[in-house]
Structure 1
């Protein structure tokens, strides 16, 4: 994508396009699973704080991260191979800024029903199921927070989850809209805009979102905002 922006040629080799899609699927699916792991981490920290060092020890964290990668890598490779095994004829031009599933499927000449079913299954496994687990985790977290007697402790607990919850809503919302429609009903411009959110915009915001609770970052942002408004 960066090379295309620099050269303004807009060409990509068939193998490079498949490689790009594979990495996008792999990294995006891993992000979904890691967000689920983070939700479980927040649940243990808030609802079982005394057991947190035992439950979420270093070994468990490594195992959860490794499991996320080991699950998504073969799935992404299989999904990519299945899509690029389709026959492509006519125009090989995609109206998109990277090789995503919906615009590639639109170029296929053969029947894409099986591929669309595979996409839906992948969405259920790597998007819907983790999202449901996150909702369950936050249901228990909210229930635990409401049982706290101190308003200060409740505020601190909500603050602990705010960054992660913001990323979950932004990432899952845009990714689900895109991949639940392999041949999207929305306009191509809207499809590109939504994809831009979860591939570029949200990852760019992640460092800012996750550090907003850092006092130094907060002070720096306040000073910058004051200078801009002055």
Structure 2
């Protein structure tokens, strides 16, 4: 009996140690990523980001992440159930988005052996972006893995999709590193959820922007076309 109890206690202790190590490693990874990028959190919205929206008063700034190696990443709350991420892609303004965009639907994880900053963290998923400078843009490689993926617009100045996603990413070189990605947290397959999401890559005012709208949990659902209603411009080629 004593041997069984001792074995049980030892198993519990080892499990607790394992959890502490995992937490410590994850914390170190996030800290290392933030240190490499020299990230500063501000409550300032880049004016050009605000100009993307018809009525910025509908958005509440969560934070802007400023680093030395890339353009700012701004996070907004939209209502109580949705979040918006805005990033200016460092790319030539004369590229034809339709011609350079490739859509795939593979089940993926963040690129191995690279650090990622956490842009937004929720109970069941994280929105991440790559640590360090953005890759040079040779194309737009968008991956949406999930259900009900729908093309809303695809032209020279606007690429726009809806998906109930298990995961997604965008990168700028075919064999390059994911730049922004969403990863659901789960231990068992049956716990794997889908997040209602819209991803928009948009030309505006001589720049190219990535705008990501996600539900904060698996219950909330985005009405398709929400980002179009919130942002300036139309769905047609210009």
TM-score, structure 2 length as denominator? 0.23
Q: Which has the higher strand share?
A: 2
Larger radius of gyration: 1
Structure with greater contact order relative to length (CA < 8 Å, sep ≥ 6): 1
